[in-house]
Amino acid sequence: MPTTTSGQWLNQFVAPQLLKELKDYKDVVIAILRGAPTAAITADGIRWNKLLNNVEFRVNNTADFTAAKMTGEKLFVEWEKYDTTPTEVDDAEIRYLAYDKRAEVRVRHMERMKEGLVKHALHRLCPDDAASDRMPVMKTTGDVTSGRKRATFRDLAEFLAKVKAIGDLDPAQLYMALCPEHVTDFILDRDAAAYFASKEVFFDPKSGNLRSFMGFKFIEPMVANAFDSSMNKKAKGAAMSTGDRYASTLIYAPNTVYHIEGVKVLYSPEIQDTKSANPKSVFRLQAYGLIDRIEDYGMGALVSDNEDEN
Q: Is residue 258 part of a domain?
A: yes
pLDDT higher than threshold 80 for residue 234: yes
Residue 159 has phi, psi (to 5 degrees) of -65, -40
- CATH code where residue 254 lies: 3.90.1690
pLDDT higher than threshold 60 for residue 144: yes
Stronger pLDDT, 300 or 55, i.e. the higher one: 300
- Flag whether the pTM goes above 0.85: no
Domain extent, residue 267, equals 9-52+70-310
pLDDT higher than threshold 70 for residue 233: yes
pLDDT higher than threshold 60 for residue 1: no
Q: Is residue 74 part of a domain?
A: yes
Ranked by mean pLDDT, the top range of 155-164, 198-207, 214-223, 270-279 is 155-164
Number of domains the chain is built from: 1
**What whole-number distance in Å separates Cα of residue 287 and Cα of residue 16?**
12
Q: What is the pLDDT of residues 151-186, one digit of tens each?
A: 998 999 999 999 999 988 999 999 999 999 999 998
Candidate from 26-40, 243-257, 267-281 with smallest mean pLDDT? 26-40
3-state DSSP assignment of residue 306: strand
Q: Is residue 65 part of a domain?
A: no
Task: Give the confidence band of 8 by pLDDT, cuts at 50, 70, 90.
Answer: very low
3-state helix, strand, coil in the chain (%, to 5): 25, 30, 45
**What whole-number distance in Å separates Cα of residue 74 and Cα of residue 139?**
34
Q: Is residue 59 part of a domain?
A: no
The count of other CB atoms within 10 Å of the CB of residue 141 is 14
| β pairing state of 148-149 and 225-227 | unpaired
Residues 6+ apart with CB under 8 A from 154: 141, 191
How confident is the prediction for the chain on average, in pLDDT? Answer: 85
Mean pLDDT of 131-154: 94
Q: Is residue 2 part of a domain?
A: no
**What whole-number distance in Å separates Cα of residue 139 and Cα of residue 185?**
14
Q: Is residue 243 part of a domain?
A: yes
